[in-house]
Amino acid sequence: MPRESRRHRLERMHAEYDLLCEAIPTPACALHFKTPFQLLIATVLSAQTTDVRVNSVTPELFDRYPTPASLAAADPEAVEDIIHPLGFFRSKSAHIIALSHDVHTRMHDAVPPSMDDLVTLPGVGRKTANVVLGNAFGIPGFPVDTHVMRVTGRLRWRTDWRSTHPDPVAIEREITTCFPPETWTNLSHRLILHGRAVCHARKPDCANCPLNATCPSAALF
């Protein structure tokens, strides 16, 4: 593929995103939640597991511990028993109990709608904070997970697409400069859903990919 100018790449990115919008017209957060606190906890629990598994344990977790104060005071072993199917249940239990304590004591039981405040909580990084901002508060956020990294790399939407260890913060910064803020949350959702359904890690389904005609990596598979 000949070297692509930045202008042409930007035009291609928007054309490909238009196709993703047609293929995935109504993207949504796959985690089930009713409050910002529930989404925050569910997102922390979703690390290195599937949203389906998280959704299978959170009804019991939120029923037993409906508030930051109640989860902050929970017996760690009781929480571990509930979230055991997710893996890493001891560290996740410690994170969500400590997180709940901070929300209860430092933030007066209210999850803050602020990146700077969210990332001070135990177990919360930029990806989790962006999920909460975009889906609980309607504040533009662009979560970068493994699907986003893989899809943006294969599409060469980012300049470090050759990197085997890309920096999620750098990806967030570069991709969000190419799209208006009001699209960031759904842009991330669509890239994640496309990665799950079509652009698989080991064997992407290029034959049925709506981006096949312009994807720079299609010929490789």
Active site (catalytic) residues: 127, 145
Phi-psi sector, 138: left (phi>0), alpha (psi -120 to 50), beta: left
Of 55, 57, 83, the C-alpha closest to 75 is: 83
Residue 108 near residue 115 (C-beta atoms within 8 A): no
Residue 115 near residue 176 (C-beta atoms within 8 A): no
Q: DSSP characters for 46-73?
A: TTTS-HHHHHHHHHHHHHH--SHHHHHT
In whole angstroms, give the CA distance from residue 175 to residue 187. Answer: 10
In whole angstroms, give the CA distance from residue 72 to residue 8. Answer: 51
